[in-house]
Each structure stands twice: as C-alpha cells, then as structure tokens.
Amino acid sequence: MPDAAGHFGRFGGRFMPEALIAPLDELEQHWRKAMADDEFVAQFNQLLREYAGLPSMLYEAERLSEAVGARVLLKREDLNHTGAHKIRNVLGQALLTTKMNKRRVIAETGAGQHGVATATACAYFDLDCVVYMGEVDMVRQALNVARMRMLGAEVIPVTSGSRTLKDAINEALRDWVTNVDDTHYMLGTAAGAHPFPAMVRDFTRGIGDEARAQTLELLGHLPAAALACVGGGSNAIGMFAGFIADESVRLYGFEAGGDGYETGRHASTITAGQIGVLHGTRSYLLQDEDGQTLESHSISAGLDYPGVGPEHAWLAETGRATYTSISDAQAMEAMALLARTEGIIPAIESAHALAGVPGVVADLGADVELLVCLSGRGDKDMDTAAKWFGLVDEADLVAEVKMK
C-alpha cells in the first residue's frame, strides 16, 4: 500500500492544480469507504460476474507451451465483456460515481479501448459520457470512435500538442477542473494523482486474485512467475497485486519497445526513461533534457504512453518486479505464434507479455509454470496485423477504404 499521501517510496503523490485537491480528497474518501462497505463490494462483484463475465478463465496453452519450452497458463481477460481487462476498472469507478451522486463522466482514450469500456459502463449506469481522444488517434481507430458513439458517448477530438493519448489526458484534466462539481474523471490506467493508482489497482486486482486461486486449484502450487504487459500498467498491477506478497513468484512487466528502445522510438519508460512528474504523479517518463515530455512510439496504441504508474516504478526500484522492453517485431511474432498454436488472437498489447516468455524461460529454466495475463483480444488490431503480415492485398485494402 502507498503511504497516506499516495507515495510508493519516492514515487506517486499528487502533482495537481490546487483546484483539484479537494475533489481528489473527496474521491479518496468515497473510494476508501466503498472498499470497506460490504454492500458496495457485493454490488461490484455481482456486476463483474453477471455483466462482465468474470472470473475470467485460466487456460493452459499446451501447444504454445511446447513451442516455448515452459508450461504457460493464460489468464483469459480477452474473453471479458468489451474484450479486455479494462471493464473491471470502469465498472468499479462507474459504481463509485453513482455513490458520489455525480451524473457526468469524462475519460481519455488512446486506441479507444478505455473509451469504449467507459462508454459501456456509462450506458449501463445511465451516466453522461464524454471521451477525449487525440485527433491523430481518432483517424487511426475510427471503428472504436463508432463503438463509443453507438454506446451514446460524445467523443471530442483533441487537437493540441501531439494530438495523442497524453494530450487527451491533458484535455480531460482541463474539463475536470472546470466541471468537477458534477463530473467524475474515469482515468483508464493505474497512473495519475493519488488515489488513482491505488484505486485502479484495487478495481483491477481481481486479475491476480482470481489467477492465484485458479493456479493453486490447477497446479496445487503457485506459478514460478507472473507476466504482463505495461503501458500505464493497469493489467500488470492488477495481476501483480495478487502475488506481491508471495515472494516465490517472480513478477515480470514488459514495456513497449517500438523500433527498439536504443533507437529512441519506443514507450519503455522504466527501461529507458528518467524519473519525473507527469499527469499528477512522480514516476519514470520519457522526457528531454529540459523535462519536456517526449512522444512515445509503439505499434500497440494501448501501450503508447510516455509515463507509467508509480507503483511499477517502485516495484522496479525495489527489485520486486523486473521490467523488460519488447520491440514491435517481437510482439507481432508472439501474436502470430499464439494465433497459430492456440487459435487465439491476442491484442498486440498482450502479445508483448507473450513475447517475454522466452526471456523468462532463460531466467528461470525450462519446465516452470508461467502465468501470463492475456489482457485483451486482437480483433481491434486486425488492420495493423493485416498490414504488418501482408495478410491482404494492398489492392483489397484500397478497395475497402474506398467503400468506407
């Protein structure tokens, strides 16, 4: 747990305009009260079970295991409603929003996955929903824009800065400071100012808690390691939270390496960034010599963020978890491997965790049991995959674009 002011060691805290401190205090009070309230917890669990389809399955991937030389257990978050782990966080925060008697929700989104999940939860709870999305991302992810609008959300293009995820967060924060009386900011990852990192972890930690029980049930003992991809780090912190106390379980986070972190075009903040402050929290980030935020690069939009949650920074510094960079090419290769061996197309984000398996095998030896968070499904990534692997003719793509 962080200290009372939300610090994980020297990371975390609150670097926010004073205007938002009282609302953050209020949010923290409601969250703490909710987590201690049996009725809230029961409502949350019921939602997860009956609406989101949880607990997600633990699946032993035998053919993949053969291919990689270790026993791989997949936590199937890709089968959740809306196709990723993110539904856990948004249902928790949306339920909390109703307890705070707020009627309006804002959110940022990069690839659109958190935006779609937020729009889903808002439709379910009948809350007004506004999603900020970089203009560049809106073009790249037009289908998710349509999904959000189908669900009744208003999608506002962000035209400032680099016009991507970090600028969408800036714009959401500007909205929040202006409308905080009736508005909850549903941050999509375990970053931002306290209490967001701890709160998002708590709403997401079902991944690890369920997987721990499922692994014990299946194996009779704990896995050797738990693996997850890390952008802002919500699925990873949700997975790790279940195992932090189990010292025998090694924790591995895999950051997006883009063209390779040594090229400078990447999103590997822990591997190759420096400590600094962004979006309300102290953590590792990509920045230049003057502390100006640098643009991140990754084939995976969900990991394409120049910061990382503060608890990950702390887990890295204390050595409890190990963070490694996975390049676009490694991730795409792992995506194809899972598709061909198991008939499961993972999200490119999750493919980064799969791509980390050989390195962990090299660390721990063969024939160990590795738990991998399959955080999302790859349907949304088929355009990217089709281009990467040349799955369709250029002519077909052109024809499809013309039809659109």
Partner 1 sequence: MTSLRSTIAAAQQAGRAALVGYLPAGYPSVEGSIELVQRMVKAGVDIVEVGLPYSDPVMDGPTIQAAAEVALAAGTRTADVFRVVEASAALAPTVVMTYWNPVERYGIDQFAASLADAGGVGLITPDLIPEEAGEWIEAADRRGLDKIFLVAPSSTRRRLELTSQASSGFIYATAVMGVTGAREQSSSAAPELVRRVKEVTDLPVGVGLGVSTRVQAAEVALFADAVIVGSALVHAIAGEANPTDAMAALGALVEDLALGVRRELE
Question: Is 375 tagged catalytic?
Answer: yes
Q: Does 16 bind partner 1 (CB under 8 A)?
A: yes
**What is the total residue count of the chain?**
404
Kindly tell me which of 18 and 50 has the beta carbon lying closer to partner 1.
18
Nearest approach, Cβ of residue 300 and partner 1 (Å): 22
Question: What is the DSSP track for 184-212?
Answer: EE---SS-SSTTHHHHHHHHHTHHHHHHH
Which residues face 374 on adjacent strands? Answer: 76
Binding to partner 1 by CB under 8 A, coded x per residue (else -) over 21-60, reads xxx-------------------------------------
Q: How far is CA 149 from CA 130, 142, 233, 330, 365, in A?
A: 10, 11, 26, 34, 48
- Window 131-190: residues binding partner 1 (CB under 8 A): 160-161, 166-167, 170, 173-174, 177-181
Question: Is 327 tagged catalytic?
Answer: no
Nearest approach, Cβ of residue 9 and partner 1 (Å): 14
For residues 273 and 287, the answer to whether their CB atoms sit within 8 Å is yes
The bridge status of strand 7-8 relative to strand 11-12 is: antiparallel
Kindly tell me which of 45 and 274 has the beta carbon lying closer to partner 1.
274
Expressed in angstroms, the distance from the first to the final Cα of the chain is 49
Question: Is 86 tagged catalytic?
Answer: yes
Kindly tell me which of 77 and 167 has the beta carbon lying closer to partner 1.
167
Cα 277 off chain centre by: 20
Nearest approach, Cβ of residue 132 and partner 1 (Å): 12
Kindly tell me which of 161 and 358 has the beta carbon lying closer to partner 1.
161
For residues 265 and 258, the answer to whether their CB atoms sit within 8 Å is yes
Which residues face 253 on adjacent strands? Answer: 228, 323
| Identity of residue 324 | T
Q: From the candidates 65, 75, 102, 108, give the one annotated as an active-site residue.
A: 108
User: Which residue among 20, 73, 237, 313 contacts partner 1 (CB under 8 A)?
Assistant: 20
> Which residues contact partner 1 (rule: CB under 8 A)?
5, 13-23, 160-161, 166-167, 170, 173-174, 177-181, 274-280, 287, 289-293
- Residues marked active site are found at 86, 108, 375
